[in-house]
Chain A
Amino acid sequence: MSIQHHPSDETLLRYAAGRLPVAPGLVVATHLSGCVECRARVATFEAMGGSLLEQVTPEPMEPEALARLLAQIDAPAPPPRAPAPRKPLPTLPGGILLPRALRHCEMGRWRWLGPGVRASSLTIAQDPSARLTLLRVGPGRKLPEHGHTGLEFTQILSGSFSDGFGRYRPGDLSEMDSEIDHQPIVDPEGECICLTAMEGEMRIGGMFGRLLTSFARI
């Protein structure tokens, strides 16, 4: 099945530049693992990074910097870190695995967020302030309104939802500006599981927004 909805070029450029915050970056990384087209685009933006690096006006290093580094490479390399024990990826409802891009996240319990809506927050050891949420929404149900300013990234893991911009299936990523009024509704065929993160300030939205806001702050 081909992917219909991709991150914007600006998002891919920021990802390639290392300028996307952690949580949206992980949603994009999940998308990339399944999207050849976007991987090629990121590779192009990385090449742009390479050419910007070539073009920048050099800034002299401290006088002894190279000598210090040469001494350092003569010293024995630090022993390789013991590889972290490989935990199996958690299984999500419906039997799919948590995407590998999220393997360093700790998955919280599924919590009730409203009728037909459950959420599990993913925590990232390196960055506890990052807010990344798995949503599990029943057929015909609305996705929670987040109430935030800025961009919202949602990657479909299973099932599908539709909004004014089309239908989103597994592998698709919805990138929405808070200025755009859209209300995704899960398609009647079954439950939808998606990964979502946002950028920018939260503000109080509707009931779900409040719930999700308080939930995300826990």
Chain B
Amino acid sequence: MTDVALGGAMPNGEELDRLIQLIASERDKQAFALLYKHFAPRLKAFLLRQGLAASVAEELAQETMLSVWRKASYFDPQRAGAATWIFTIARNLRIDHLRRDRSVSTPDPESEDTVDDGETGEAFVLRAEREERLRTAMKSLSPEQAAIVRLSFFNDKPHSEIASELGLPLGTVKSRVRLALGKLRTLLEGQL
């Protein structure tokens, strides 16, 4: 097992996974602090990038890390890496926050299992394989296509925002998005 680097170099994926496992098994606060230093500022930046105000981004980054502490035992590195798992927690909290904003609040203890995973019989692609394929595929997209995919991820009105960010007419964007995602699909499936 790799020792977790204290400070200095950025921890790699396996080290981050290990930190979450230490939190789960040992309630290890030092591991939590390391994980926090890595992810909290990234979560804040990510949430800002998604259009939230700085104070809200900060608060949701905190809530996400608190959830990481509380739910660490549910983390399964075979299914998703640390960054992906933490991303999904932040995503769900952001959705809850946006609903809260509409002044209606009904706590939904099951909000995170909207999808029944139905493990049985799942053609289970190992996480490492999925992430590796995705990395290779993203590198094979043209810079413009990679930008389109990224912007589709961040923006609420992806078409108009992509249009203004890339200086393309709105009509063109729709087909470019479809082309970029089609290419990504071909690349992901081509590696099977």
Interface residues of A (CB under 8 A from B): 8-10, 13-14, 17-19, 22, 29, 32-33, 36, 39-40, 42-54, 56-62, 65-66, 68-70, 72-73, 77, 81, 83-84, 100-101, 103-104, 125-129
Which residues in chain B, 48-63, are within 8 Å of chain A measured between CB atoms? Answer: 48-49, 57-58, 61-62
In this complex, the interface size class of chain B, counting residues with CB under 8 Å from chain A, is 35 or more
Take A61-B44, A66-B37, A129-B102 as given contacts and tell me if A18 and B95 are in contact as well, using a CB distance cutoff of 8 Å: yes
A18 B104 Cβ-Cβ under 8 A:
no
Asked whether any CB of chain A lies closer than 8 Å to the CB of B147, the reply is no
Take A52-B46, A53-B46, A59-B48 as given contacts and tell me if A9 and B181 are in contact as well, using a CB distance cutoff of 8 Å: yes
Q: Mark B98-134, 1 if CB is under 8 A from A, else 0.
A: 0100101111111000111110011101010011011
Bound-complex Cα distance A106 to B87 (A) = 30
Bound-complex Cα distance A54 to B105 (A) = 31
6 interchain residue pairs of minimum CB distance: A50-B84, A58-B41, A50-B83, A59-B45, A18-B91, A9-B181
B107 A81 Cβ-Cβ under 8 A:
yes
- CB-defined contacts of B117 to chain A, threshold 8 Å: 39
- CB-defined contacts of A61 to chain B, threshold 8 Å: 40-41, 44, 58, 61-62
Interface residues of B (CB under 8 A from A): 29, 32-33, 36-37, 39-46, 48-49, 57-58, 61-62, 65-66, 69-70, 80-88, 90-92, 94-95, 99, 102, 104-110, 114-118, 121-123, 125, 127, 130-131, 133-135, 138, 149-150, 152-156, 158, 177-178, 181-182, 184-185, 188
A125 B104 Cβ-Cβ under 8 A:
yes
Q: Which of B33, B44, B104 contacts A70 (CB 8 A)?
A: B33
- CB-defined contacts of A104 to chain B, threshold 8 Å: 108, 110
A92 to chain B, nearest CB (A): 18
- CB-defined contacts of A65 to chain B, threshold 8 Å: 40, 58, 62
CB closest residue in chain A, given B93:
A18
CB closest residue in chain A, given B65:
A69
A127 B156 Cβ-Cβ under 8 A:
no
B66 A59 Cβ-Cβ under 8 A:
no
Bound-complex Cα distance A33 to B122 (A) = 12
Bound-complex Cα distance A33 to B102 (A) = 28
CB closest residue in chain A, given B99:
A126
Q: Which of A10, A50, A69 contacts B86 (CB 8 A)?
A: A50
Bound-complex Cα distance A50 to B33 (A) = 20
A127 B88 Cβ-Cβ under 8 A:
no
A14 B152 Cβ-Cβ under 8 A:
yes
Bound-complex Cα distance A111 to B121 (A) = 39
Bound-complex Cα distance A81 to B135 (A) = 40
- CB-defined contacts of B156 to chain A, threshold 8 Å: 19
- CB-defined contacts of B116 to chain A, threshold 8 Å: 33, 100-101
Q: Which of B45, B106, B138, B153 contacts A17 (CB 8 A)?
A: B153
B106 to chain A, nearest CB (A): 4
B32, B83, B117: residue with the most chain A Cβ atoms closer than 10 Å: B83
B102 A53 Cβ-Cβ under 8 A:
no
- CB-defined contacts of B80 to chain A, threshold 8 Å: 43, 46-47, 50
Bound-complex Cα distance A142 to B159 (A) = 32
CB closest residue in chain B, given A12:
B181
B161 to chain A, nearest CB (A): 11
A69 to chain B, nearest CB (A): 6
B131 to chain A, nearest CB (A): 5
Bound-complex Cα distance A45 to B181 (A) = 11
B104 A69 Cβ-Cβ under 8 A:
no
